[in-house]
Copies of this chain bind each other. A is one copy, B any other.
């Protein structure tokens, strides 16, 4: 399975995926910035708390993993959201080392404010050319890929402290 080159179809799929994701991110970022003064990462975090969680809370590490971000980068972003009053941070109940991030009412409002336009961008830019069936197919294709990538991390968020490694 160790190919040394991609075939034509793979290249086509790879490039299409890359370009679509890039263009989509662009479009989304612009809308989020204009309407809600949020970056994409910040929106992802709010969405994860406000939509992806029943409690409206999550732990720092889980959030970092979810958005594929280093811990320090997450601390930075969480700090911004905190300062903006969109989330609060408090010590975790069970583990005193942990920090629980919770979306505030203002955070939910911001999310609501941004969501319609966000949805519209996604609908227009991404789903316009696709049928309902296409959408399902796409999700069915990409979901396993995501799971696979998550389980076989390229070592992004993994290692934290090297052994010695002088130099």
Binding site for B on A (CB under 8 A): 1-6, 9-10, 12-14, 16-27, 30-31, 67-68, 115-116, 119-130, 132, 134-139, 141-150, 152-156
Contact = CB atoms under 8 A, between A and B. Distances in A.
Contact of A150 (B2, B23, B144, B155): B23
Given A14-B122, A138-B141, A141-B138, A116 B4 contact: yes
A138 B17 contact: yes
Nearest to A22: B68
A119 B154 contact: no
A125 B138 contact: no
Contacts of A142: 13, 16-17, 20, 138
A30 to B, nearest CB: 6
In the assembly, how many copies of this chain are there?
2
Contacts of A17: 17, 20-21, 24, 126, 138, 142
B26 A68 contact: yes
B16 A18 contact: no
7 contacts: A10-B135, A12-B143, A13-B135, A13-B142, A20-B146, A21-B22, A125-B154
A145 B132 contact: no
Nearest to A6: B119
Contacts of A68: 19, 22-23, 26
